[in-house]
Amino acid sequence: MKLLVTGGAGYVGGVCAEVLIRDGHEVVVVDDLSTGNADGVPSGAKFVEGDITTAGVELVESESFDGVLHFAAQSLVGESVQQPEKYWHGNVVKTFTLLEALRRAGTPRLVFSSTAAVYGEPAQVPIPESAPTAPTNPYGASKLAIDHAITSYANAHGLGATSLRYFNVAGAYGGLGENRVVETHLIPLVLQTALGHRDSISVFGTDYPTADGSAVRDYIHIRDLADAHVLALAQSRPGEHRIFNLGSGTGFSVREVISACERVVGHPIRSVDAPRRAGDPAVLIASSAKATANLGWQPAHNDLDEIVADAWEFLRSLGERAHSAR
């Protein structure tokens, strides 16, 4: 298939584009490089630098694509609280513009990068897709709004769409990994500390009702995530919008993640205890039973040390090019 990948210079988009290319698809990446890196675009992809509302729309309407994988988004939770306008415009308005282009061009398939943030603070764990959606920040709310828009486009215009709601993505694949100027994810932050790019890693909350008092999260390997996108694309159904959670189904605490990083790097990593952050649930674990039953998807890389080792190898390979926020 000929596929357009928006945000394909970012971490998740770049790895997914690489897997699609290795599976024999023709891939075009569009990215404005506002948060992504040109180095993150797979060598086998055609790269067009630009915004999805201009360059992306022009590509959709001038070339015949079999599908679009939409990763381009604003994705910092804290920033979304401080600058909600950036998220409503950057995520919702821009995606609406893209959806209109897909409708005009008759593009048949869409896979959308959604998020577990749509669930907010869950009432049950593991979290199924039937759980109430109650996002606690504009980032999650903007992604949920897009899900609703996609449903209406599928119903009205025959679009075959899938939304994949990720939990915590980590690891690396094909020489591609996390390399962001503003890093918020735990595993790369711990590994940056191990490299000396940070003085310490903060453990936000030590009094949660968990085994060691720190918050528990579900970590999914980036390769497993990419495989889910390939399956979702291949199994799209005209006129139907399907939604799936993607996670390993296993939870690891912040302290367990730090310990895994210490095992991989071979030396202690300094951590400091800090107060809880507002709105951080104690436990977030996905139920991916629906994805397994409907897509035939099963994560193959659930070992935390393997996930960390892949991320560590990538980060070390960057050398002085690695981003750090001191």
178 contact partners, CB below 8 Å, separation of at least 6: 11, 170, 172, 185, 188, 311, 314, 315
8 A C-beta contact, residue 47 and residue 31:
yes
Q: How far apart are CA 105 and CA 238, in angstroms?
A: 15
Q: Which of 11, 139, 208, 219 is catalytic?
A: 139
Enclosing H/E stretch for 262: helix 254-265
Can you name the residues that pair with 220 across neighbouring β-strands?
A: 169
Q: Which tokens is 172 given?
A: 């690396």
Alpha helix ranges (H) inside 64-214: 77-82, 84-87, 94-105, 138-157, 186-194
Q: How far apart are CA 245 and CA 202, in angstroms?
A: 28
Q: How far apart are CA 110 and CA 129, in angstroms?
A: 19
Q: Rounded to 5 degrees, what are φ and ψ at 310?
A: -65, -40
Q: Is 139 noted as a catalytic residue in this protein? A: yes
Q: Rounded to 5 degrees, what are φ and ψ at 280?
A: -80, 115
What per-residue string of b and e applies to 61-82 under the rule 16 or more CB within 10 Å gives b?
eeeebebbbbbbbbbbbebbee
Dihedral sign of CA atoms 6, 284, 130, 224 in order: positive
34 contact partners, CB below 8 Å, separation of at least 6: none
Burial zone of 196 (CB within 10 Å; 0-12 exposed, 13-18 middle, 19+ buried): exposed
Question: Which of the residues are catalytic?
Answer: 139
